[in-house]
């Protein structure tokens, strides 16, 4: 079965889908995107993803290509046409097609919209049960990491470094302060059982899953601090874990070949993962509401 993509008003077999060579997303990374987990055919944290997409568009002064309702119709149709039960939907909006020049194009330039889907949502549960290894990498990204742009070369280089180091993720840090990971948010648990994650600033992307897990943790009675923390703190923490759209809650058991605590997944991370999985399993069609 051929995968179906939506590109600028048309549903096409993905192999036939094309964008214009002068699309600014292609030439300048002048675009934004979202990745949404689909669970049992419905989206997780959908309203949060749309809210962040609209914020990113606003920060880059890209006109919204359509209403949230119209975009939701397209996303639902892509899920349906691709028969996705467990998987992801990818949405990208670029500034549009214009002759190549660095300043924003003038006139009526219509934003480009691409929506695709794929089957499979993250690593197997057996990965979380064992925990994962991460490596520390210097954060070399630009100063507006809060905007989810398609300019991901530093993230790709960090992820490649992790792959070459046989690690699951790259833990990014600036001057010894952990910001996040290359494709997820980072957390630690102190010896006093306090959960710590970097505050929402321009230095990190405010993960939608991060926000949901934050609410779950507080509702469960955990004490949470949103503050900067150091790489040294992660190496002496009781637990370290990651959150993300497809990783859910992922325990970290090794940093740079050094075990975190006893080198086994921590009880807090496993508890929050179970709570997040219960949230996914409880999703209904109302998840599409925006």
Write the pLDDT tens digit of every residue in 19-36. Answer: 999 999 999 999 999 999
248 and 146 share one domain: yes
In a domain, 288, yes or no: no
Same domain, 115 and 133: no
Residue 290 pLDDT level (bands cut at 50, 70, 90):
confident
Residue with tokens 């934003």: 111
Q: Is residue 267 part of a domain?
A: yes
> Is 230 a residue whose pLDDT tops 60?
yes
How much is the pLDDT for 224? 98
Active site residues: 148
The rounded Cα 256 to chain-centroid distance in angstroms is 23
pLDDT 10s digits, 34-50: 999 999 999 999 999 99
Q: What is the CATH number of the domain that holds 103?
A: 3.30.470.10
Q: Region 197-206: what's the mean pLDDT?
A: 98
Is the pLDDT reported for residue 2 higher than 80? no
Residue 25, classed as helix, strand or coil, is: helix
Instruction: Kindly indicate the confidence band of residue 1, based on its pLDDT and cuts at 50, 70 and 90.
Output: low
Predicted confidence (pLDDT) at residue 277 exceeds the cutoff of 80: yes
d(CA 58, CA 280): 29
**Is residue 207 pLDDT above 60, yes or no?**
yes
What is residue 193's predicted lDDT score, i.e. its pLDDT?
A: 96
CB 70 within 8 A of CB 230: no
| Rounded average pLDDT over 233-242 | 97
Q: Are 144 and 277 part of one and the same domain?
A: yes
C-alpha to C-alpha distance for 63 and 54, rounded to whole angstroms: 9
- For residue 179, the enclosing domain spans 125-281
Phi and psi at residue 58, to the nearest 5°: -65, -40
Average pLDDT for residues 98-124, to the nearest whole number? 95
- Supply 202's token pair: 């321009």
Cα 25–Cα 46–Cα 109 angle in degrees, nearest 5: 30
Read off the pTM: 0.96
Last residue of a domain, one of 119, 140, 163: 119
Q: Binning pLDDT at 50, 70 and 90, where does residue 226 land?
A: very high
Q: Quick one: pLDDT at residue 185?
A: 98
pLDDT score at 79 = 98
Residues 60 and 135 in one domain: no
For residue range 172-195, what is the model confidence (pLDDT) as tens digits? 999 999 999 999 999 999 999 999
The number of helices, as runs of H, and strands, as runs of E, in the chain is 8, 16
Pick the last residue of a domain from 74, 93, 119: 119
Model confidence at 228: pLDDT above 80: yes
Q: Are residues 99 and 170 in the same domain?
A: no
Residue 12, pLDDT above cutoff 60: yes
Minimal CA–CA distance to 29: which of 89, 85, 102, 84? Answer: 102
Contacting residues for 21 by C-beta, under 8 A, at least 6 apart: none
- Residue length of the chain: 290
Are both 176 and 258 inside the same structural domain? yes
Residues 133 and 113 in one domain: no
Residue 289 lies in a domain: no
Q: Is the dihedral of CA 173, 160, 46, 27 positive or negative?
A: positive
User: What pLDDT, on a 0 to 100 scale, did the predictor assign at position 122?
Assistant: 84
Mean pLDDT of the chain: 97
Mean pLDDT of 2-15: 94
pLDDT grade for 265, boundaries at 50, 70 and 90 = very high
Q: What percent of the chain has pLDDT over 70?
A: 99
Q: Are residues 153 and 276 in the same domain?
A: yes
Our count of domains for the chain comes to: 2
| Average confidence (pLDDT) over 67-82 | 98
Tell me, yes or no, whether 187 and 248 share the same domain. yes
Identify the domain boundary among 119, 135, 151.
Answer: 119
CA separation (Å) from 38 to 14, 44, 81, 185, 284? 19, 6, 14, 20, 11
């Amino acid at each position: 079965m051929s995968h179906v993509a939506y590109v600028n008003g048309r549903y096409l077999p993905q192999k036939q889908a094309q964008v214009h060579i002068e699309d600014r997303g292609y030439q300048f990374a002048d675009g934004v995107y979202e990745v949404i987990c689909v669970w049992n055919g419905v989206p997780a944290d959908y309203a949060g993803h749309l809210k962040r997409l609209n914020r990113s568009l606003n920060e880059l002064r890209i006109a919204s290509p359509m209403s949230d309702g119209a975009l939701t119709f397209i996303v639902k149709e892509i899920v349906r046409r691709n028969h996705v039960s467990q998987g992801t939907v990818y949405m990208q909006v670029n500034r549009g097609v214009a002759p190549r020049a660095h300043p924003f194009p003038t006139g009526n330039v219509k934003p480009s919209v691409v929506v695709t889907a794929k089957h499979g949502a993250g690593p197997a549960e057996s990965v979380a049960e064992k925990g994962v290894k991460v490596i520390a990498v210097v954060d070399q990204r630009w100063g507006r990491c809060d905007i989810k742009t398609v300019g991901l070369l530093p993230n790709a280089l960090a992820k490649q470094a992790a792959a070459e180091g046989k690690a699951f993720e790259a833990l990014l840090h600036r001057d010894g302060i952990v910001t996040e990971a290359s494709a997820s948010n980072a957390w630690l648990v102190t010896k006093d059982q306090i959960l710590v994650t970097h505050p929402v600033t321009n230095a990190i992307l405010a993960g939608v899953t991060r926000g949901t897990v934050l609410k779950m943790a507080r509702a469960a009675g955990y004490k949470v601090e949103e503050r900067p923390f150091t790489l040294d703190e992660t190496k002496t923490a009781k637990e370290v874990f990651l959150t993300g759209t497809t990783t859910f809650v992922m325990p970290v058991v090794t940093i740079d070949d050094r075990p975190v605590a006893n080198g086994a997944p921590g009880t807090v991370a496993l508890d929050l993962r179970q709570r997040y999985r219960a949230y996914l399993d409880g999703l209904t069609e109302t998840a599409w509401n925006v």
